[in-house]
Amino acid sequence: MGKLIIVPTPIGNLEDITLRAIRHLKECNLIYAEDTRVTKRLLSHLNIENNIFAFHAHNEHKILDKCIETIEENETTVLVSDAGTPGISDPGYLLVRECIKHDIEIECLPGPTAIIPALVGSGFSCERFHFEGFLPHKKGRETRIKSISDLTCTIIYYESPHRIVKTLNQLHKVLGEDRKACVVREISKIYESYHHGSLSELCTFFTAHKPKGELVLIVEGRT
């Protein structure tokens, strides 16, 4: 019976990878990756050669059964995403869920994720938080936003630079323009930055200053 190991990869600085992650990437029989090109660059940086196969949002349902067969046939298989911990806002959870159904052993390594450093760096309460991930691109956005309007805990979103102004604008219309928030950009990269202010102020700022890179939006809970 095989084993699936979930290995987080750096979200920015390549030094963020753990010694344990490096060992598993070296010693496993094969690696399932979100984008094989991204993973090959990481392995090249680490001087590692291994077998890499694609497992991503466009093929996960088609190859899920084959992946399970392959995992069962090998001693250890590693699952990675392009950056961060697999399963967080990517289809990796489908493979984990299917392995559990087939009584395949799962080992999940701790490691890089954008959620925690963004939350802590925002200065908002970390005692309780609600992770929303990405909002729907079109239908259902307003409904999702209204569903969290009364939450008193800190709220976390992932957002793209192309939609951040739209999201901030929709949030301040539902939650109120004085609700405090923080937009965290490019965590663990050279241009990492934290922008604090009300939802209205942040909407005005990012309308004038088009952001680039990966964004995490932290919204203070209702007081």
Query: Which region among 60-74, 116-130, 151-165 has the lowest average model confidence (pLDDT)?
Result: 60-74
Amino acid making up residue 166: K
CA-closest candidate to residue 211, choices 168, 156, 154, 155: 168
Is 1 a residue whose pLDDT tops 90? no
Is 66 a residue whose pLDDT tops 70? yes
Each residue's pLDDT tens digit, 25-57: 999 999 999 999 999 999 999 999 999 999 876
Instruction: For residue 52, give the 3-state DSSP assignment.
Output: strand
Report the run of H or E that residue 181 belongs to, with start and end. strand 180-185
Q: 212 Cβ partners below 8 Å, 6+ apart?
A: 161, 185, 186
Domains of the chain: 3-108 (3.40.1010.10), 115-219 (3.30.950.10)
pLDDT for 206: 97
Each residue's pLDDT tens digit, 132-163: 999 998 888 989 999 999 999 999 999 999 99
Q: 159 Cβ partners below 8 Å, 6+ apart?
A: 134, 135, 167, 215, 216, 217
Model confidence at 58, pLDDT cuts 50, 70, 90, reads low
Average pLDDT over residues 175-184: 94
Which string of DSSP letters, residue by residue, matches 85-148? -TTSSSTHHHHHHHHHHTT-EEEE-----SHHHHHHHHTS--SSEEEEEEPPSSTTHHHHHHHT
